[in-house]
Amino acid sequence: MTLDDAALKNFGFIERPTKNMINIDPLQTGGILTEDARRALVEWGDGYSICDNCGGVLDLIKKPPVQEFVHEALPEFLGVDQARITHGARESKFAVMHAIAQEGDTVILDGLAHYSSVVAAQRARLEIRKVPHSEHPDYYIDPEGYGTAIEETISETGKAPALALLTYPDGNYGNLADAKKIASVCHEYDVPLLLNCAYSVGRMPVDAKELGVDFIAGSGHKSMASCGPIGVLGVNDDNGDYSDIIFRKSPTNKNKEIELLGCTARSATLMTMIASFPEVVKRTRNWDNEVADARWFSEKLEALGLIQLGQKPHNHDLMFFEAPNLYEISTRVKKGRYFLYKELKSRNIHGIKAGLTKFFKLSTFQVGRENLSYIVDSFDEIIKKYE
């Protein structure tokens, strides 16, 4: 590519095609900005804006109130001793793995773990052992499976795993495993537990101390109404001096935390998280209503012949459906497996991956009953249209 005027015309400002659509994409429902965050984005958009009055440590900046947010509000919100901002849930997970494990150590992952947990472990050069889950239709993780996985690791390698991880909820079925029980099983073997809360922190109440977990990874762009990439990392020191290890300082640059490379969110992303925070805190207190919406929606789709997999009644807005009727339609219509995507798109609904009909996930988070009704009616119409 020669960077002449013609080539450069492909870049510049580009419109977002899904703007103003009803959004049920699980990746996106919890990351939609609040009005305050949208204003913050414009106000703080310039590179390094947040560093106007930095004394050398990003999370100690007083104006804007980064220090208060990171060192007071976030620990309270997550129920941890120490919190930091990262670039996302995966970066939080990698930071923990890289800091507390040694190359070649084992990490235990739930069988439903997100690929980013796997890749974080691979980047940290760790061995992965998975706790199995039950199969279709429940996808249940038995807490005792952690004990078995830990014992197998010890007997095969002679060394306890450096860390265990639970995806809470998992990113496919939206299942919330028994984190408290799993933490206590892991702690019997002195193995710390990291909770991957990409889909929970910012949507529902999560408290590390209450659950007894040692680390929490959260995702700002996924669940905290923030412009990304941004995440949070919480460390609970009840079972070890973990924050000393993870946030250790450079021997040469004494105020820089090595594992965070000195600083992380060096622009507007953190200002959007701070801007949305009051609403985010409040929405977690409204979680019961969100769960009620999810259950209502699940019942309505089941009445149309779809089957919701995973926990039932469901406890989270992220849901996975099996749709034999939609799949059957896809085998005989002209647009094939893209028919559902196109039908939904023509009804201004975004979020089910193009090409999927038999199995797909969606999220009802903050979509609201009115839009959810409209989506149910749309599914009904689409099914009837092709009957």
* CB-facing half-sphere around the CA of 142: CA atoms within 13 A: 9
Give the type of residue at 168: Y
* Nearest distance from C-beta of residue 171 to ligand PLP, angstroms: 3
**Counting contacts by CB under 8 A, is residue 98 touching its own copies?**
yes
* Nearest distance from C-beta of residue 172 to its own copies, angstroms: 14
* Nearest distance from C-beta of residue 2 to its own copies, angstroms: 7
Question: In the chain, what is the greatest distance between 2 CA atoms, to the nearest angstrom?
Answer: 70
Q: Which one of residues 22, 100, 120, 372 is an interface residue with its own copies (CB under 8 A)?
A: 120
Question: How many residues of this chain interact with ligand PLP, rule: CB under 6 A?
Answer: 15
243 is in an annotated binding site: no
Give the type of residue at 191: V
267 is in an annotated binding site: no
Q: Which one of residues 30, 31, 161, 171 is an interface residue with ligand PLP (CB under 6 A)?
A: 171
* Nearest distance from C-beta of residue 9 to its own copies, angstroms: 7
* Nearest distance from C-beta of residue 300 to its own copies, angstroms: 26
- Phi first, then psi: give them for residue 266, nearest 5 degrees: -100, 40
Cα 76 → chain centroid = 19
* Nearest distance from C-beta of residue 312 to its own copies, angstroms: 27
**Counting contacts by CB under 6 A, is residue 196 touching ligand PLP?**
yes
Q: Which one of residues 37, 182, 197, 211 is an interface residue with its own copies (CB under 8 A)?
A: 37
* Nearest distance from C-beta of residue 265 to ligand PLP, angstroms: 10
221 is in an annotated binding site: yes
Burial of residue 17 (CB within 10 Å: 0-12, 13-18, 19+) is exposed
* Nearest distance from C-beta of residue 232 to ligand PLP, angstroms: 9
**Counting contacts by CB under 8 A, is residue 259 touching its own copies?**
yes
99 is in an annotated binding site: no
- Rank residues 71 and 300 by Cβ distance to its own copies and give the closer one: 71
Q: Which one of residues 116, 226, 284, 311 is an interface residue with ligand PLP (CB under 6 A)?
A: 116
Q: Which one of residues 222, 295, 314, 316 is an interface residue with its own copies (CB under 8 A)?
A: 222
368 is in an annotated binding site: no
Rounded Cα distance, 232 and 227, in Å: 13
**Counting contacts by CB under 6 A, is residue 198 touching ligand PLP?**
yes
Rounded Cα distance, 171 and 176, in Å: 10
- Residue 77's binding partner, choosing from its own copies, ligand PLP, none, with beta-carbon cut-off 5 to 8 A by kind? its own copies
**Counting contacts by CB under 6 A, is residue 266 touching ligand PLP?**
yes
- Residue 151's binding partner, choosing from its own copies, ligand PLP, none, with beta-carbon cut-off 5 to 8 A by kind? none
Burial of residue 379 (CB within 10 Å: 0-12, 13-18, 19+) is buried
- Residue 198's binding partner, choosing from ligand PLP, its own copies, none, with beta-carbon cut-off 5 to 8 A by kind? ligand PLP
268 is in an annotated binding site: no
Q: x/- binding map, residues 51-90, to ligand PLP, per CB under 6 A?
A: -------------------------------------xxx
- Contact between 92 and 233 (Cβ < 8 Å): yes
Q: Residues annotated in the binding site, as ranges?
A: 89-90, 196, 219-221
The residues of the shown chain that bind ligand PLP, judged by CB under 6 A, are 27, 88-90, 114, 116, 167, 171, 196, 198-199, 219, 222, 231, 266
